[in-house]
Amino acid sequence: KIINISNSFIASINQQALHFNFKMTSSNNSFVAIFSLLLFSTMQCHAQLSSTFYDRTCPNALTTIRTTIRQAISSERRMAASLIRLHFHDCFVQGCDASLLLDETPTIVSEKTALPNLGSVRGFGIIEDAKREVEKTCPGVVSCADILAVAARDASSLVGGPSWTVKLGRRDSTTASHTLAETDLPGPFDPLSRLISGFANKGLSTRDMVALSGSHSIGQAQCFLFRDRIYSNGTDIDAGFASTRRRQCPQEDQNGNLAPLDLVTPNQLDNNYFKNLRQRKGLLQSDQVLLSGGSTDSIVTEYSNNPRTFASDFAAAMIKMGDISPLTGQNGIIRTVCGAIN
C-alpha cells in the first residue's frame, strides 16, 4: 500500500541529508539503499487498514464472504450472534489476528479450549467455508482475520442490525494465547468496574463497551451462566422474568440448557436489550450491572430511547474493536486454512 508521509517528516529527512552533505560515491549509494530500506520498513510498521485493500487483488472477496454468511444465517438465525462473538473473542486476546481459529497442535495451545470459549464459541466451520470459497478465486490473498471482521458486519446487517464499512488488510497470526483468552475476555459475572477497565485496556471507551454489549440483543446463554441470578431473589431482577427462566434452568443439572438473551426479539439485533435492562430483565449479571446506579445508566437509557443512536454507536464501536492490534505489512501470514498454520 502507498503510505502518505507528512511534509514535516520529509523535511526532516532532507535536512539530515543536507547536514551530512553526501557525495554520490559507490559507498554513499550503498548508504542510500540502506536508508531507503529503513524508510520502507518504517512505512510498513505504520501501515493502515483500508476498506479498499482487496479492490485489485480480490475484488469479489466481500461478495463471496457475504454469500456464505447469508446461507449460514438462513439455516440458523442464531449463527449471527455466534459470528459476531467470534470476532469479539478473537480481537480481545492478542488483537484481531484470527488466533482464536487455530486448532490445538503439539506447539499451539489453542484459545478454543480456554474457559470463556470452551463449549460456547461456535461458527468456526462457517468461517472455514467462507475461506474455502475465497481461496477458489483468490488463493493466498484474503486473511482469516479479515473474513472474521467481514462476517461480523454481515451477520449484524442480516438480522436487522447496522452495517458499516469494514477496514481490511489484517494478516493472520502464527501463534495463539490460551493464557490471555483466560484472563482478558470479559466474563458473565464481572462487576461494572471490571468491565469498564477491561474494555479500556483494549482502547475502548465506556460508551463503546455499553454499545458492544448490545450484541446480547441476539444469541443465547447456557443455564449455568445465569442460574445464580434467576435464583437469587435479588432486587435487580424482575420476579416474573426470573420465574420464566427457571422453567428451563433447574437449580441442579441441565447446565447446557439454552435461553435467549432477549426474550422479546431474540433473533433481531436491536435496542430491545436496553429496554430489558430498564425492566430488570437482563439475563446475565454482566448485562444488568450496566443499569445499576453506576456511570453507564445514562447510556443504557439513551440507547433504550433512541435505536438510531444505538445502531450508530454499535457500528462505530465494532470498527474500533476491529482496529485492536492488527498484524499488517510483513507481519503475520495469510493462512490457507483458518484452523492451521501453512
The length of the chain in residues reads: 342
Amino acid identity of 53? F
Q: Which of 19, 46, 89, 178 is catalytic?
A: 89
Is 264 annotated in some ligand binding site? no
Is 41 annotated in some ligand binding site? no
Looking up cell 433447574 gives 250
User: Is pLDDT of 40 > 90?
Assistant: no
Amino acid identity of 323? D
Is 99 annotated in some ligand binding site? yes
pLDDT class of 315 with cuts at 50, 70, 90: very high
Respond yes or no: is residue 46 known to be catalytic.
no
Q: Tell which residue, 325, 322, 333, 329, has the closest CA to residue 151.
A: 322
pLDDT tens track for 248-264: 999 999 999 999 999 99
Is 270 annotated in some ligand binding site? yes
Distance CA 236, CA 292 (A): 8
Element (H, E) at 40: helix 26-45
C-alpha cell of residue 281: 430483565
**The model's pTM:** 0.86
Is 302 annotated in some ligand binding site? no
Is 64 annotated in some ligand binding site? no
User: Which of 35-49, 89-103, 164-178, 322-336 bottoms out in mean pLDDT, i.e. has the lowest?
Assistant: 35-49
Mean pLDDT of 222-243: 96
pLDDT score at 47: 60
Decide if 20 contacts 66 (C-beta within 8 A): no
Decide if 65 contacts 150 (C-beta within 8 A): yes
pLDDT class of 23 with cuts at 50, 70, 90: very low
Query: Which has the higher per-residue pLDDT, 11 or 238?
Result: 238
User: What residues are paired with 179 via a beta bridge?
Assistant: none
